Structure 1
Amino acid sequence: MGLTKRRIQVPSTLIYYVAASLDGYIARPDGSVDWLEGYGSETDDQGYSAFYTSIDGLLMGRATYLHCLDAGRWPYPDKPTLVMTRSNHLPRATPQVEMQHYAPIDALESLEACGCERIWLVGGGSLAGNFLAAGLLDEVIVSIIPHLLGAGIPLFSIGLEQRLQLLEQRSFPSGIVQMRYQVLKETSSP
């Protein structure tokens, strides 16, 4: 296994940090994110560096993992990463990458066992939807890109109603608006 296990488990915070088009898509129908090019700035990364520094581990699906590998250089060399996949033939980007198919709760427990407290769910509308449906998603940080795709992979691939509470919003000269939401957990009355 690529992830080193520690004895003490800590409760984690799972954060879906993602960019989406104004019409709610995270990628083109073929998975391409080329439409994001040109919205970045060398002087302002829209808070990405601070966010990345604040997380302890990553959780992603196979398609996102393969997209990262295709980019040439593994972008997360210093963080434990769990790739949710049934494919056992994929190359490992680093020794800190584990590839395993888990139920959502077991995936979080695996990362928690490594000491991860703040976990980034990296891309994957289907994966995000599964964790949301399981009641395990704690925050959504979405950067709305001023671009209409018309079709593609939706922000969440599972049709599920969920209340969120706005914690913070920021806008940038590029026209990007970033919103940070807390996922409100259902509480049952006695």
Structure 2
Amino acid sequence: MRAALIYYVAASLDGYIARPDGRVDWLKPIEEAGDDHGYQAFYDSIDGLLMGRVTYETVLAFGGDWPYPGKPCTVLTRGDLPQAASDVRICHDTPTQAIEQMTAAGCKRIWLVGGGSLAGTCYSAGLLDELVVSFIPHLLGAGILMFATGLERRLQLREQRSFPTGVVQLHYQLLPEAELP
């Protein structure tokens, strides 16, 4: 059985995960509020991470220690990138190949970290199982969309949470295509 792939992401109320230039500075007031909005519980529930080159380079640009300790991370890229930590694997696999390898290594729940392009690719390939979106009370008007591809899919709400910061978190299960009308 393949590991579950969960897209856990913060988005503006109008569906953007970053400004057009990739900056996420608009998240700073929420981060500074002191509430982790369930992040640590989510992080504890996953066994590995999958990310693309642009997200990886963005994380590296923040500087400091690798922010995802103790979890294997596969970075999909066609180029050469520095290895940020011993549990980071840089490869030219397809998302399917990467998930198969992570499943074989014992991962049961994989976090798809950031990146509307990779999220769209995984969605189109039928790999995405869950979507957890923390909607931030902010309108960007333009930027990088949560999914870089047009899509239609029914979702089943599993959980909803609201926080004093105005963040609303929705946790969905993607329904099989057979369940579409």
TM-score range (shorter-chain normalised) is over 0.9
Aligned residue for 2:10, secondary structure, equals strand
TM-fit CA distance, 1:162: 1.1
AA in 2 matched with 1:139 = E
- Alpha-carbon distance in structure 1 between the residues aligned to 2:157 and 2:87: 33
- Alpha-carbon distance in structure 2 between the residues aligned to 1:54 and 1:149: 30
Select which of 125, 144, 161 maps to 1:170.
161
AA in 1 matched with 2:171 = R
Q: Deviations over 1:154-185 (max 9, x none)?
A: 00000111111111100000000000000111
1:85-100 map, 5 Å: 85-88=77-80, 90-100=81-91
CA RMSD of the aligned region, Å? Answer: 1.1
Select which of 82, 98, 122 maps to 2:74.
82
TM-fit CA distance, 1:186: 1.6
- Alpha-carbon distance in structure 2 between the residues aligned to 1:71 and 1:38: 17
- Alpha-carbon distance in structure 2 between the residues aligned to 1:61 and 1:92: 13
Aligned residue for 1:78, secondary structure, equals coil
Q: Which runs of 5+ in 1 are unaligned?
A: 1-9
TM-fit CA distance, 1:11: 2.6
TM-fit CA distance, 1:70: 1.2
Aligned residue for 1:37, secondary structure, equals helix
Q: TM-score, normalised by structure 1?
A: 0.90
Q: Deviations over 1:74-130 (max 9, x none)?
A: 101211000010112x11011111111222211110111221110000000010011
AA in 2 matched with 1:182 = Q
Q: Which moved more, 1:73-82 or 1:14-23?
A: 73-82
Stretches of 4+ moved more than 4 A in 1? none
Could you tell me the percent identity over the aligned residues?
A: 63
- Alpha-carbon distance in structure 2 between the residues aligned to 1:112 and 1:165: 25
Q: Does 2:85 align with 1:102? A: no
Q: Is the 8 A contact 2:2 2:99 kept in 1?
A: no
- Alpha-carbon distance in structure 1 between the residues aligned to 2:147 and 2:123: 9
1:155-166 map, 5 Å: 155-166=146-157
- Alpha-carbon distance in structure 2 between the residues aligned to 1:91 and 1:104: 20
Q: Does 2:48 align with 1:65? A: no
Q: Relative to total residues, which structure has the larger helix share, 1 or 2?
A: 2
Q: Number of paired residues?
A: 177
Aligned residue for 1:38, secondary structure, equals helix
Q: Deviations over 1:129-165 (max 9, x none)?
A: 1101111100000000000001000000001111111
Q: Is the 8 A contact 2:153 2:177 kept in 1?
A: no
